[in-house]
Each structure stands twice: as C-alpha cells, then as structure tokens.
Amino acid sequence: MAQPAVQSPKESRVVLSARGLTKTFGAFAAVKDVDLDVRDAQVHALIGPNGAGKTTVFNLLTKFLQPSAGSINLLGTDITRTAPDKVARMGLVRSFQISAVFPHLSVLDNVRTALQRPNNLSTQFWLPVSSLDRLNGRAEELLTAVGLIKERNTIAADLSYGRKRVLEIATTLALDPKVLLLDEPMAGMGQEDIGNVSNIIREVAKERAVLMVEHNLSVVSDICHHVTVLQRGEILAEGDYATVSQDPRVRTAYMGEEEA
Ligand SMILES: Nc1ncnc2c1ncn2[C@@H]1O[C@H](COP(=O)(O)OP(=O)(O)OP(=O)(O)O)[C@@H](O)[C@H]1O
C-alpha cells in the first residue's frame, strides 16, 4: 500500500479550523460542537455513516449554511460571518462549486475558461477569443498534472464519467485553492479511475490542504493523513487511519457498515 505523501502531520500549519461548530434544524442538531483542524499539505478525510453530518459540515465550512454556533477560521481570518463567494475567493474551494464542466467545450477550453476567473479576464468580455491563448501554457500544465493532456481537444461530453471527474478537478485547481474540499471524489468510479484520482489528490495535496468526504475506506487508508469520524453530528474519533480503524467505538458505529 502506498504511503501518504507527508509523514509528519504535526509539522504542517493549520489552514482551516472550526471550533464548537453547530448546526440545528429546528430542534434537531445535524452538527454538534465539532472542532476541526485541517493542515496544509495533508489529505484529511471526514467519514461516518449516512446522516452523520458530513455534508452539513462541508456546507458550514464553505458558508453555504450559516452556523447556529461556533466559529470558523481560514488562513488566520475569522470567516464565521463571511459570504460564500468571498470565502471561495480567499482560497477555500469545493470541487463542484465553480468547476461545472461545460459539456460542449473541449477539455482545454474548459480549463482555459476556469483560468479566466483568477485572471479576471471574464469581466473583459470585449477581448478577442485569441486573448485566451495566453492561458494555454498554464492550462496545459494543469492537464499534464492530472493526466488529461492527450485528451486536450476532446469534447468534454465525450469523456468517460471518471475522466469528467478528473476534468472537474483540473478546473477546480485552475482557481489555485489553498484548501480544496472534495465531496466523495471517487463516487461512481471504477478501480482504474480511483487509482488515478488517488494519485492526483496525493500530488495536489503537496501544495495545499485537502479535506474530503469519502466512503471508500481503502482510499481513505491509502491517501489520507488524518481522519475525523462523525456520528450523529458529533466527532466520535480522530487520528490516522490505523488508529481510528482500531477504535472499538468506530468499529461498532461505522466500520461494520462499510467495507473494512
Ligand atoms: N436542511 C435540512 N433540514 C433538516 N435536516 C437536515 C437538513 N440538512 C441535513 N439534515 C439532516 O441532518 C443530518 C445530517 O445530514 P448530512 O447530509 O449532513 O449527513 P451525511 O453524513 O452527509 O450523510 P450521507 O453520507 O448520507 O450523505 C441528517 O439526519 C439529515 O436528514
């Protein structure tokens, strides 16, 4: 089994943290008093049974949902009351958030379009299409990094499901996020794509933090440095995969329901 990219988690700095994060819907607490520290250059997994609160935590961190209580800090700034678009511009980006793949554009044009955003070209609509050519170098670099360069001229709609998800990751990386949130990146993928996307995530995490919700525990054990286990909205356990997977409470609550 491949080793995670970083072996000394305590050394990298916390880039995203939550304290006492809580979200109630009426009398029901979907997320209760969650503390989270996401570190640079690490892949951090958020796991737990169905309904544990993982998606709600993602929605709180990206500010799609406003917390009922608690605080969130991104790169040293309190973002508890910050609007979602500003949080995204500060560098916290969720994979599907801005990276919808345009099916009728080529792979290269999808990435060039995503690259317009940080370069602010999208507001300069009077520029000729050829002005996008100056983004070719960076677009090709990104496509090479995710292994899509040979398909640069393929129309996105013609890609397999797994390759489309890879293109989605490339368009997200075009925004140069400091913290990348991935919601079940392996969902619906075959084994070959899972191996490929695992390698991509491991590589991209060398330069940024990755927080991912993932149900595939062999992927979690393979590429994640740190694992937080949620159950009924609360943190049940955390640590490296070897530690949490041996925790009897986790085995009872979670592992029995999934592939171990
Ligand atoms: N807008 C809402 N109103 C009421 N209850 C909600 C709302 N959103 C989520 N919940 C409830 O909060 C709990 C946590 O849901 P959430 O989707 O965060 O879990 P999850 O861990 O992502 O689950 P899954 O793995 O099935 O996606 C569930 O009981 C869900 O029904």
Q: Is the CB of 56 under 6 A from ligand 1?
A: yes
Angstrom CA distances, 206 to 58, 72, 200, stand at: 22, 23, 10
Index of the ligand 1 atom closest to the CA of residue 215: 25
* pLDDT tens for each residue of 39-63: 999 999 999 999 999 999 999 999 9
Cα dihedral 131→136→139→143 (10° resolution): 150
Q: Is the CB of 25 under 6 A from ligand 1?
A: yes
92 Cα to the center of ligand 1, angstroms: 22
* pLDDT tens for each residue of 114-161: 888 764 444 555 556 566 777 889 999 999 999 999 999 999 999 998
* pLDDT tens for each residue of 2-44: 455 445 445 689 999 999 999 999 999 999 999 999 999 999 9
Q: Is the CB of 53 under 6 A from ligand 1?
A: yes
* pLDDT tens for each residue of 162-199: 899 899 999 989 888 999 999 999 988 888 889 999 99
Per the CB < 8 A criterion, the answer to whether 239 and 227 are in contact is: yes
Q: Print burial letters for 179-198: b (CB count within 10 Å at least 16), e (below 16).
A: bbbbbebbeebeeebbebbb
Residue 237 has pLDDT above 60, yes or no: yes
23 Cα to the center of ligand 1, angstroms: 10
55 Cα to the center of ligand 1, angstroms: 7
pLDDT of residue 130: 66
191 Cα to the center of ligand 1, angstroms: 28
What domains can you pick out in the chain, each with its CATH number? 1-96+177-260 (3.40.50.300), 99-174 (no CATH)
Beta bridge partners of 34: 21
pTM for this prediction = 0.88
Pocket test for ligand 1, best of 22, 56, 184 (most atoms within 8 A of CB): 56
192 Cα to the center of ligand 1, angstroms: 30
Q: Is the CB of 51 under 6 A from ligand 1?
A: yes
